[in-house]
Amino acid sequence: MLNSSLQQISDALRGKKISSVELTQLYLNRIATFNGELNAYITVNPDISLAQARAADTMLANGNAQPLTGIPIAQKDIFCAKGWRTTCGSKMLHNFISPYDAHVITQFNNAGAVNLGKTNMDEFAMGSSNETSYFGAVKNPWDRTRVPGGSSGGTATAVAARLCAAATGTDTGGSIRQPAALCGISGLKPTYGVVSRYGMIAFASSLDQAGPMARSAEDLSLLLNTMAGFDERDSTSLQREKEDYARDLAKPLNGLRIGIPKEFFAEGLGSDVAQAVEAAITEYKKLGAKKVDISLPNSRLSIPVYYVLAPAEASSNLSRFDGVRYGYRAPEYTDLADMYEKSRAQGFGAEVKRRILIGTYVLSHGYYDAYYLQAQKIRRLIAQDFVEAFKQCDVIMGPTSPTTAFKLGEKGDDPVQMYLSDIYTIAVNLAGLPGMSIPCGFGANNMPVGLQIIGNYFAEAQMLNVAHQYQQATDWHSRMPLLEGVRND
């Protein structure tokens, strides 16, 4: 079952070839075997998971099953889940038990899916390598000396190593797409507002978006069908008619116009990554698509714009963690101000502190106009570049990450080099567009390479069609890392 699609698993459950309890136990056993080395999960609770599996088996027996009923799904530890420890990868929340469910969790619960556990992540989703987690770095299953990407690195590793059937992630500047690329899986960031942010611990509210991570585009479509939907508790949630994101999967690609931004193939892109991406575009030509050269002139400014706006929003969002109502509180302090200072100093890691300080600075009197306001103006120019580009093409393609997975610790002392890992993904978040990454080959050291597909607003079904047709013609998405000690079939 480990290499089966979600639809195949669903059919097996309905056909009583396997029960949800048996399937859940299979993954729990696999987690017990490999998680100690990979560190993909922060929290696993077999009692809760198996209880949900038994309830799913009852739904299946009564004929009340939905497509994801009984399927074990891992949840990024940024989503509040009632009765589950929800840490956001931070000491600040290391013992926080959520009293309520995030909207995404509720959607999966209503679908009868099984919560398999909470996956590791960069602290408060701040990072590109999953090395900032209070609970330790996650290892890439293709090479355990390398990073899985971040911040959804635990999710990416869990999916790639078959420690779950599929999983959720969040993407603020590339945190679904970049780890998906580095771990050889598929991941999708929807249009901003398509998936509710209620109960998702906030990093940068105007950029954060939840999305699915799985083996294939077909699997992503089933997950997004469950995750998407209006939620009145989230002021940024979009009220739109429900749609079937799998509706166009079989549509041929004849006449598809693929925009290739010249800025994505400039200095800084690894030759091995470029070769794999260009081979994928050649494959698309065979499928009937045509290449259109385009330009995104302001995309080069996405990194500085992002690292003004995102820290500014983080500075505001993380002010709630003060040691008073919940979360970590310093054991010793003299007065209220001292408690605030020590709790935050001890509860937050170095990267979180760095971004809070930057954010507070750019929002301060005398610097707001020079930095924050200017960044917002450039953000509008970046979004306008995409509007103009989509007049010439249907989708945009390029590399997801400039390199394959780098070594653990390699960029830890150079934050700027770490930030550049997201150079091709950040502009999509700034514009609020949907973007996804799918496997398209292997580069140096036999590490996966990701192809990024960017669509126009609300074009998720089209993007999934484009990705699915490629995956029907290639097998990169079906490759999996060899984990010693357990069969991979």
CA-closest candidate to residue 140, choices 174, 189, 180 = 180
Cα 445 to Cα 339: distance, rounded to the nearest angstrom: 48
Q: Is the dihedral of CA 138, 414, 424, 79 positive or negative?
A: positive
Q: Is 290 a catalytic residue?
A: no
Q: CB count, 10 Å around CB of 476?
A: 20
Of 152, 175, 186, 237, which residue is the catalytic one? Answer: 175
Residue 150 identity (one-letter amino acid): G
The CA-atom distances, in angstroms, between 465 and each of 217, 252, 283, 457 are 8, 8, 15, 15
253 and 467 Cβ atoms separated by less than 8 Å: no
Cα 486 to Cα 234: distance, rounded to the nearest angstrom: 43
Of 19, 76, 91, 401, which residue is the catalytic one? Answer: 76
CA-closest candidate to residue 37, choices 125, 159, 183, 145 = 145
Q: Which helix (H) or strand (E) holds 455?
A: strand 448-455
Q: CB count, 10 Å around CB of 392?
A: 13
Residues recorded for the chain: 489
Token digits of residue 204:
């940068």
252 and 286 Cβ atoms separated by less than 8 Å: no
Q: Is 76 a catalytic residue?
A: yes
Say which residue the tokens 């041929």 belong to.
Answer: 252
Q: Is the peptide bond before 151 cis (omega within 30 degrees of 0)?
A: yes
Q: Buried (b) or exposed (e) across 39-61, using 16+ Cβ within 10 A?
A: bbbbbbbbebbbebbebbbebbe
CA-closest candidate to residue 380, choices 430, 311, 313, 428 = 430
- What DSSP line would sit under 371-421, residue for residue? IIIHHHHHHHHHHHHHHHHTTT-SEEEEESSSSSPPBTTTTTT-HHHHHGG
Q: Is 151 a catalytic residue?
A: yes
State residue 77 phi and psi, 5-degree precision: -80, 30
3-class DSSP state of 156: helix
Of 49, 128, 133, 151, which residue is the catalytic one? Answer: 151
- Active-site residue list: 76, 151, 175
